[in-house]
Amino acid sequence: MNLLQKIKSAFILTTLLSCGSKDQKAGLDQDLAIGIVADCQYCHCESTSSRFYKNSPGKLQNAVDSLNNAPLDYAIHLGDFIDRDFSSFDTVGPIWNKLKTKKYQVLGNHDFSVADSLKPLVPHKMNLKQRYYSFVEQNWRFIVLDGNDLSYQGAITEEKLAQTDSLFTLLSKSKPPNLHTWNGGLSLEQLKWVENELILALKNNEKVGFYCHFPVLGEDKVHRLWNSPQFLSLIDQYPNVKFYFNGHNHNGDYAQRHGVHYLTFKGMVDTDNTSAFAKVRITTDSILVHGHGREPSRKLKIRE
């Protein structure tokens, strides 16, 4: 091999190796890599048959270590960061903050299982400037919902509490299986904001992925958002919506509707020795879920 050939070979090798680095953006068609954790749900509490609260910090640390070994665009926790007690944030928060990539949080019902006087401080404690928000990576718009907007955990203003009572009373007439006080719903204000985000995404030629704590579809009907039919009827109108990822149902779940993937990630807190988290890679035509612990791996085709 002559000198020129050696230089070309070295260049090709360097280029291939650099493809795994998220520090070098190759353009809009580059894969996205995302770390996902659901229901860490820590508290300094005795275990039950299906909740191993004190084990969550160790599991979260292992997940962070694994995610830090992968080139990620960002990581997100899908709600129920704690199980109860405001002080619990001081144990798992510093572990989550060790992530080297960008970090996002979703509000879960248990995140508000704190003293009423401390509930307004929860979003800030989780490094959230808004309770629901969106962000853009490459040609994707990711919309993070607040399923506690109307709820008996996270509604903390008189107006939102009144709206919660009104929605709960209205739904009580038909007695749906998800009408439990530990679920929640989206306010009309948030739904209007979602619609505006979807319109903006269409205008910008962006694909859309949703994150929420509560599911809206799947075999399980008990854990869904109170007004999930209203939400589904909205996003059914937008072909740029590709997925909806959530936690809350710790057993996990999956459904597809009009080409949109509705995936419930398994809870981290549920097992004594094993864990659950995932690394997700989004390519031009697929969503590749690499599950760790009891989270299964799967390949989801992105509809055109």
Q: Among 192, 188, 182, which residue's Cα sits nearest to residue 159? A: 188
Q: Residue 187 carries which side chain, given as an amino acid letter?
A: S
* Separation between Cα atoms, residue 210 and residue 198, nearest integer Å: 11
In this prediction, residue 22 carries a pLDDT of 57
* Separation between Cα atoms, residue 182 and residue 152, nearest integer Å: 7
With a pLDDT cut of 90, the percent of the chain lying above it is 89
Q: Which domains does the chain have, with CATH numbers?
A: 29-301 (3.60.21.10)
Burial 39-52 (b: 16+ CB within 10 A, else e): bbbbbeeeeeeebb
Q: Is the pLDDT of residue 183 over 90?
A: yes
Q: What average pLDDT does this structure show over 271-298?
A: 97
Where does the pLDDT of residue 85 fall: very low under 50, low under 70, confident under 90, or very high at 90 and above? very high
Q: Is the pLDDT of residue 263 over 60?
A: yes
- Better-scored residue on pLDDT, 86 or 30: 86
Q: Is the pLDDT of residue 25 over 90?
A: no
pLDDT in tens, 45-60: 999 989 999 999 999 9
Taking every pair of C-alpha atoms in the chain, what is the biggest distance, in angstroms?
Answer: 81
CB 79 within 8 A of CB 108: yes
Q: Is the pLDDT of residue 6 over 80?
A: no
Q: 177 exposed, middle or buried (CB, 10 Å; 0-12, 13-18, 19+)?
A: exposed
Tokens 């994150």 sit at which residue?
A: 211
Q: What average pLDDT does this structure show over 208-235?
A: 98
Q: Is the pLDDT of residue 11 over 60?
A: no
Q: Is the pLDDT of residue 73 over 70?
A: yes
